[in-house]
Amino acid sequence: LRFRSLAARSRGARGGAGAETQVGNDLGSPEPLRWLLRSPFDRNVPVQLELQELLLDHVFQRLGVSSQGCVDHPIVLTEAVCNPLYSRQMMSELLFECYQVPKVSYGVDSLYSFYHNRRQNWPCSGLVISSGYQCTHILPVLEGRLDAKHCKRINLGGCQAAVYLQRLLQLKYPGHFAAITLSRMEEILHEHSYIAQDYTEELQKWRCPEYYENNVHKMQLPFSNKLLGSTVASEEKQEKRQQQLRRLQELNARRREEKLQLDQERLDRLLYVQELLEDGQMDQFHKALVELNMDSAEELQSYINKLSLSVEQTKQKILQSEVNIEVDVVDSKPETPDLDPLGSEQSLEDVESINEFEPLFAEEQPEVEKPVAAVQPVFNLAEYHQLFLGTERIRAPEIIFQPSLIGEDQAGIAETMQYVLERYSKEQQAILVQNVFLTGGNAMYPGLKARIQKELLEMRPFQSSFQVSLASSPVLDAWYGARDWAVEHMTREEGWISRKDYEEKGGEYLKEHCASNVYVPIRLPKQAPRAAEAPSRASGTGNLSEQA
C-alpha cells in the first residue's frame, strides 16, 4: 500500500455535519488543502503521535487486518538514522499499548535497501548515500553493521529542491505565480531534471542558442481558450451594432420632439403677448411682461426670434434624422428600388444638409462595404501559458552538491563523503569505496551516478579503484529489503522486540540487527550515598585548612 503521509481535517459544515478527516491518497490534489495539511513528521522523525495513529489506522484498514481489538501481526517499521530515543519510545508505546502487536522491529530505510541489493559475500562493507525528501545521509557500513559514530546528515532533499525550483520559476514567470505550485514543481523534478556532471561547464553549454533550443523543455499550464470579444460571430456583432444605432436614433428623435413641443408652447405664449401689444391692450400687455420677467417689447421680440429659429432648427433635425434612416436602409439593401419619401424634387441643399448630420453616428454605423474579419488575439494564449525549463533543470537538484545556492551553510554530498572517508584508515577507505551504494528518491535523477564517480575520482588517490552502484528501485527497495529481512528472521529472535522486552526495558529499547540503528541506552549517573558523602566533605575541608 502506497500513500502520502499527510492528513487533513475539514472544519465541517455549518448545518451540523461533523469534521471529516482525509488521509493519504483520499486527499486527491493537495494544493486546495495546502493550508490544512498536517504530517506526523518533523523532517523524517515522527513527533505527532495522534496523526501517526491516524496513518496506522488507515494502513490496517486498507490492508484488511480483521483481528478484533488488536493487530495480531508482527510489525517491521523504519525509523530515522540515529533516531531520538523519545520518538522510538512513543512509537513503541503506540504499537504495544494501542494496537497490541506481538512484536516489532525497527530498522533504517537506506540500510534495508542496502540489504535488498546485497552481494553474495554478505556481510559486506560499503558507503551508503541515501538522499530522500527531507535530508541526505552518508552511512558507512563495516562488515554488515552500521558505524553510527561516523554517520553524517545533510538537511537537504527533494523538498528543498522543489521549493527552490518554485522560487526560480515564479521569479521568471510572475504572471503565472499562482499556477506554479509545489505539486507541479515535484512533477518537473521527477520528469525533467537531471544532475550535471560538471555544473559550471553545463551552464556554459546552456548559453549557446542551439543547445538551448535542442534541450529546453516546455511545460503547458492549464488555461481557458475563451477570449473576450471573440466568441460572438461577426454577423451577430453587426446586428447588435445596427440595433444600437436604431435605439440611439430613436432616443435622439424622442428628445428632439419633446424639445420642439416645449419650445412651440413657449413661442405661442410669447406671440399671444405680442398680439396684446398690437391690439392696444397695454394693461394686460405690461402685466404679461411682468409675469415673463421681461422689461420691454424689444426684449420680447428678441426672445420670439430666438425661439422661432430654435423651432425651425429642431424641425429640420427631425426631418434629417428620418432621411438618414431611409438612406441607411437603401445602402444596406442596394437591390431594392430607390424609395424617396420626400419626392424626386429634393434640392441639392437638402442633400448637403443631410450629409452634415451623418458624422453624428459615424462611430455607430457598421461598415457594410468591408468584410468583417474574425477577431484575432494579439498573442497565442497557449504559448503564453508555457513554462520554458532551461537551466532550472540542473539548478534545482544541484543544491544537494552545493547547498550555498539556496543560502544554506552546509557541506554538499562530495565534501561530506570525503569527510566521512577521512575518519578511517587507508585500508578501510579502500574497502568502503569498493561498494558506494546510492538509494533514496533523489537517486532517480539522471546523472547522479556519473557525478558521484567524478567526485570520487577527484578525491581518491592516483590509480585507486572504486565502484558505484545504484539501487534497483531507489524508492521501493527499502520496503523490499524490510520484507526480505522479515521473511528470513520471522522464526528467530534476533532484531525483534517482544512485549516482554517492552515492559521490562522500556519503549526506547532496541534490538540491533544488520539494518538497524545502534542502541545507546540511557545511562543515569549513580549518586553516592549521603552517609558516605559527609566524611569525605569533612576530610576535604581539613585538608584545605592544612594547606592554608
- The grid cell for 239 is 446586428
CB distance 8 to 33 below 8 Å: yes
Residue 105 belongs to what H/E stretch?
strand 103-108
Instruction: List Cβ<8 Å contacts ≥24 apart for 51-57.
Output: 51/7, 52/91, 52/94, 53/94, 53/98, 54/7, 54/21, 54/23, 55/5, 55/7, 55/23, 55/24, 56/94, 56/99
Three-state DSSP class for 388?
Answer: strand
The CA distance from 9 to 168, in Å, is 32
- The grid cell for 71 is 493487530
Beta bridge partners of 103: 498
The CA distance from 129 to 135, in Å, is 11
- Cα distances (Å, whole numbers) of residue 354 to 60, 328, 333, 344, 437: 89, 12, 20, 15, 93
The CA distance from 126 to 139, in Å, is 8
- Angle at alpha carbon of residue 516, lines to 514 and 521, rounded to 5°: 120
The CA distance from 125 to 436, in Å, is 9
- The grid cell for 413 is 554530498
Residue 203: phi and psi, rounded to 5, are -65, -35
The CA distance from 304 to 292, in Å, is 12
| Ramachandran quadrant class, 431 (left: phi over 0; alpha: psi -120 to 50; beta: rest) | alpha
CB distance 212 to 388 below 8 Å: no
The CA distance from 30 to 36, in Å, is 9
CB distance 320 to 314 below 8 Å: no
* pLDDT given for residue 118 in this prediction: 86
Q: Produce one character per residue of 300-319: b if its CB has 16 or more CB atoms within 10 Å, e if not.
A: beeebeebeebbeebeebbe
Query: What is the length of the chain?
Result: 548
pLDDT in tens, 468-526: 999 999 999 999 999 999 999 999 989 999 999 999 999 999 999 999 999 988 776 66
Q: Nearest CA to 470 among 486, 448, 487? A: 448
- The grid cell for 488 is 528470513
* pLDDT given for residue 68 in this prediction: 82
Q: 271: how many CB neighbours lie within 10 A of its CB?
A: 13
The CA distance from 118 to 463, in Å, is 26
The CA distance from 360 to 365, in Å, is 10
- Angle at alpha carbon of residue 209, lines to 207 and 214, rounded to 5°: 110
Residue 264 belongs to what H/E stretch?
helix 234-279
7-121+475-505 fold: Nucleotidyltransferase; domain 5 (3.30.420)
CB distance 317 to 360 below 8 Å: no
- Angle between helix axes 448-459 and 413-421 (nearest 10 degrees) is 50
Give the dihedral of Cα atoms 449, 450, 452, 456; nearest 10 deg. Answer: 140
Dihedral sign of CA atoms 194, 200, 201, 203 in order: positive
* pLDDT given for residue 420 in this prediction: 96
Question: What CATH number does the domain located at 157-223+385-405 have?
Answer: 3.90.640.10
* pLDDT given for residue 376 in this prediction: 53
Residues of the chain with pLDDT under 50: 15, 228-232, 329-349, 351, 353-354, 356-370, 372, 532-534, 536, 538-548
Q: Where are the beta strands (DSSP E) in 409-464?
A: 436-439
* pLDDT given for residue 323 in this prediction: 67
CB distance 23 to 54 below 8 Å: yes
* pLDDT given for residue 345 in this prediction: 43
CB distance 518 to 146 below 8 Å: yes
Whether cis (ω within 30° of 0) applies to the bond prior to 521 is no
Beta bridge partners of 128: 139, 437
* pLDDT given for residue 346 in this prediction: 45
| Ramachandran quadrant class, 333 (left: phi over 0; alpha: psi -120 to 50; beta: rest) | beta
- Cα distances (Å, whole numbers) of residue 187 to 162, 181, 219: 9, 10, 11
Three-state DSSP class for 121?
Answer: coil
Residue 153: phi and psi, rounded to 5, are -125, 140
Q: Nearest CA to 410 among 136, 44, 45? A: 136
- The grid cell for 321 is 434624422
* pLDDT given for residue 359 in this prediction: 47
Q: Nearest CA to 256 among 320, 301, 193? A: 320
* pLDDT given for residue 453 in this prediction: 96
